[in-house]
Structure 1
């Protein structure tokens, strides 16, 4: 299709000349008409600049003014300057930020100290965030149409906040409850297990961080359940075992006897303590042994220690027989198997021999074979005093002092009471003669001291009398007083020492049987620095007159103890006796 003669400017209709039609030349060689587009763009640009200037100016003018209606954690600061907003927050929100913060878990409330927990309110930063210059359209919008509630700026120390949450958790955590199984008589009982609730520390710290001062307290802390160590399933399983234990009696067969343990006796002996999350059946071995003993006759017997006795004044070993006893472990295993059985509730066990602490063989090895030393002192004419020494001799006679052990005269003679056979006789107290239970027993202290002295044993403690009595060797004697003064020596040999004591021929006799180990030499020096006796007058109500005794003096006693020519002890002991003055009562 060819060009349209009415629209195509390049085509001219036939029979027509351009020269004769001026309209055809109207646009040829003329200037184009001016365009309006640049003017519109110019004015549009000017408008944008003006509007931007107005926008920036408005933002700048309102930069230090908090938008009307703005609140921070419920505190109205709208229309205030930055300084005014800070002052308002300091006045109204500051005290709240210093108060303890209530927190809650499972209905239990406690509180944390914000400052101690690393929570700090920054009112300056909060006010600045509300008033500082910004080109955000939202800010201008809020200035025109009103602000909203804004969160305060808070600084947090994560470690301190965690510590604060952990401290609060101790008050609000709900501990799980383990299930239990117990016995009441012949009945098995249980208590239910229940889960606990514990604060989720990390989540709680995050919650407090975002809700402090913003949310009405108390703040509910996130938590997680904590399971008990002993669950309900474990409790139910243990209860089934417990019910089986007390379902019927258990018969124990031992030593030719039968002991029927009723359900209540089984319940008294059994328990289900929690261990590693389990309730395990546990037996009280002592209770089981007692239950069997109570239902048998003379089933168990005690061993009899071997001991020395004197026959024809010589030591002989007697006793040393085994006893018989239930084996607690074997008994427990047998009862456990029977009590948890569905059918056979018979427990069979055996008695086991119990050896004595000291057997005949033990004593035979001690080397008690020879009388290595003996010592005696004369008696007085006081019959009660002599009787006290007879009783004391019976206590000391047969006393065995094993190697490395000590002999104490007060231990050997005790108890010094009338019930033990002791009577009232003369003693010296505070320099005066009076009567007391066990008077005269210091003579046994002197005799046994000399046994240790002559045998070469280690002297541990002793104290001579205040006055010298010539029935004793001067400086080689000892007094005693229960609870205050004792005479003790130690058997420092590898052999046992068996003491022998008796009263005869007007003398108190003592001897030691052993194997000679030490060689002893001794020497008593002269009486020196003698102080003659005098007469004193006593006007007290309890005065007892007495005649003068021996003069006072000082003496030194030497002892050298050796073995195979080598000296082991080289002693020099000095003692000063007081004069025993006569006493006249007025």
Structure 2
């Protein structure tokens, strides 16, 4: 019994030793915890990092200084923004993104009370990130720009034929869109990432035409049209050749839904072939006259030979795609002169077919009337041809010898270069009228001018209003003009075929003028005049007196306003 009691005492001693040791350690830990708690009061929790910078155990002021020093460059570093297959960048400063240093340190919180957390903080770190100060308008503008940079339309694959006659293909490119709100959110939260890189989701759209479609079209079209020369044989064995290197100008491709459409440019093919085949054509020319004063010299006629390009290049796509038949014939049209040298040599201009004279114009208008009369004097109108006053004279500006003179603008007097030319147009119109020419185009004045025959006059305006008449007879017409300081005369000479009578109707449907006030140096007072409607009937008879036609035209003139100058 004594032996058992002796053995139990050592065991009890060992247990008490472990208990006292544990209590000692706990006491020591408590002392250390209390000391650490007191010493770290008011500092940033241990292990806290911001942007990878350790600010644990520092006072808030010390932590802020360290962050400013070590992150100053990073907050100004451009940030790359990636979305889908595109990327761009922005400057945080100009985007209105800066760090709120106080708030960043504050968000680290207080020292933890949990002793385990405090113990683990000796080995673990905790990244708390930054708190940003945001200039909303700047950030919104930046997000909008980035959305544009990161958005692109899908691009179809393309196919073309290069100068060497080979297929060239560009890859299709996916399109993408990025929402501005998504960019805005990512910038706010992640602009100060350690790698200065922000990733945004993009909505991807595929191109309609992919590379596979371009490669298929190249096999089916390009390989065939460039398989060899395509030869067009013209007269006298002259050849025009479309070579593989030419095909890029003739054969082009464009997106059409989910496939490539082939377009065939016949104009380009014609241009290439004309370089050699043009020598087989002969210019068509009716006989004409060179007028030199009163002398007329006949310009001989020439029968023409023209390539019928529509027929020659008909079904051009089939011709170019046919890899077995690469030679084709050129189609021609032979055109005979309708007015021959013999006809011109026998022409007579002895008869006055129609003539007319007007006067009463101002001296400055006379300059323009004499100039246009000089231009038109000696003009020839061949059988079947149409004479155009604007087309014959071309521009009528100061460079052509015309001056500023009076015109009628909105019913009242004004001035413009070329003023007065309508007087010549009216004179020419009446000469053609009485010569039996066909009226193709003429425009009466809006307001009646008393020196012209009512219902039988014409105005012209360069590039807009023209005077045109057609010679429907089988003999040519020579236009002779003369003008002095007071009048202008026009004769149409040739072979007289008809007699023409003008029957002028009564003036009806009168309208009263309105009153207007104008100002300026060019203002000219006017008592105005009433508007009215009038008819003119042209009766055409042959030389035996038989009536061939009777045509009535109605002209409505607006009232000219009563003008008062201020």
TM-score of the superposed pair, with normalisation by structure 2: 0.48
Q: Give the structure with higher Rg (CA).
A: 1
